[in-house]
Structure 1
Amino acid sequence: MKYTIKEDPHKNELVQKVMEISGENIFSCYQCGRCSSGCPMAEFMDVLPNQVFMFLQEGDVDTLLNAKTPWICAACFTCTVRCPVGLDLAAVMEAIRELQLRKNYDYVDPYKVEDREELPPIALVSNFRKFTP
């Protein structure tokens, strides 16, 4: 069954793209809030995990693309374990990050990272994988 949004066709395409990349049906979420209540990173997020699904269901992808939440998500899968429907919010967050990274904008300049020599190389590598296209 294919779901559609009655708003802007561009937003509809982005929502469909998030669903395609993540493999999740975002319209299954009924806003119980368990993902937000169990998220260890929720206090640092500007959009709560359950609100991610709400914005997607409403077709407001721009809010999510400009939010810090997808980048703060630790992908710990607490939300997935707690979800009564079995939605994988970590996959949805990864899809949102992927859409943002496809714009080919580097969020981290390796030459401007302070204390590069003191940081473990694996921390730098994982950061660059997450924040650069």
Structure 2
Amino acid sequence: MIRTKHIPDKYEKEILQIKKISNEMINDCMQCGKCTAGCPAITEMDILPHQIMRHLQLGQFNKVIESKTIWSCASCFTCAARCPRGVDLASLMEAVRLISLRQKGNNRLKVQNIGQLMTDEKMPQQAVVSALRKYSK
């Protein structure tokens, strides 16, 4: 019997973008829950890390992008260190955040705007840290 994964056509483009940006294989996750058990930011998440992986496996991109979990992820890489299959969930979260920002047309950060962003209480700190990692190289 051949196992196949079905991604709804509606979000196939986004799921493929996530795979390309993160360079991770979403289907390698076996739902063991070790990422969730070790996550230090779990109290701020509305969808647990292993559930994020399952939503991505099922092609439910809308549930992932609408959750506050992608912005609560601290990118501490504890999930990647604990994963028995070597899936880097932090990289996947970063890819989803990047796609979200691109869809809103906000994928460019200017150095002169960083000070203003740091004082905005509604701006997720992870968004600023991720942008600094990306543009400081």
- Normalised by the shorter chain, which TM-score bucket? 0.7 to 0.9
Provide the residue aligned with 1:56 in structure 2. 56
Question: Which amino acid is 1:67 matched to?
Answer: S
Number of corresponding residues: 118
Shift of 1:57: 0.6
Provide the residue aligned with 1:23 in structure 2. 23
Moved over 6 A (4+): none
8 Å CA contact 2:34–2:83 kept in 1: the answer is yes
Shift of 1:72: 0.7
CA distance in 2, matches of 1:33, 1:11: 25
- Unpaired stretches in structure 1, ≥5 consecutive residues: 116-122
8 Å CA contact 1:5–1:12 kept in 2: the answer is no
8 Å CA contact 1:80–1:87 kept in 2: the answer is yes
8 Å CA contact 2:55–2:63 kept in 1: the answer is yes
CA RMSD of aligned residues (A): 2.9
Distance 1:25 1:43, change over 3 A: same
Distance 1:129 1:85, change over 3 A: same
Question: Which amino acid is 1:99 matched to?
Answer: I
| TM, length-normalised to structure 2 | 0.74
Question: Which amino acid is 2:131 matched to?
Answer: R
Distance 1:32 1:12, change over 3 A: same
- Unpaired stretches in structure 2, ≥5 consecutive residues: 108-112, 133-137
8 Å CA contact 1:4–1:12 kept in 2: the answer is no
1:1-133 matches, within 5 Å, as: 5-103=5-103, 104-105=105-106, 110=116, 113=119, 126=128, 129=131
User: Cα deviations across residues 7-49 of structure 1 (Å, max 9, x unaligned)?
Assistant: 4313111111111110000000010000000000011101111
Percent identical residues: 37
8 Å CA contact 2:6–2:58 kept in 1: the answer is no
CA distance in 1, matches of 2:74, 2:53: 17
CA distance in 1, matches of 2:18, 2:9: 14
CA distance in 2, matches of 1:25, 1:128: 21
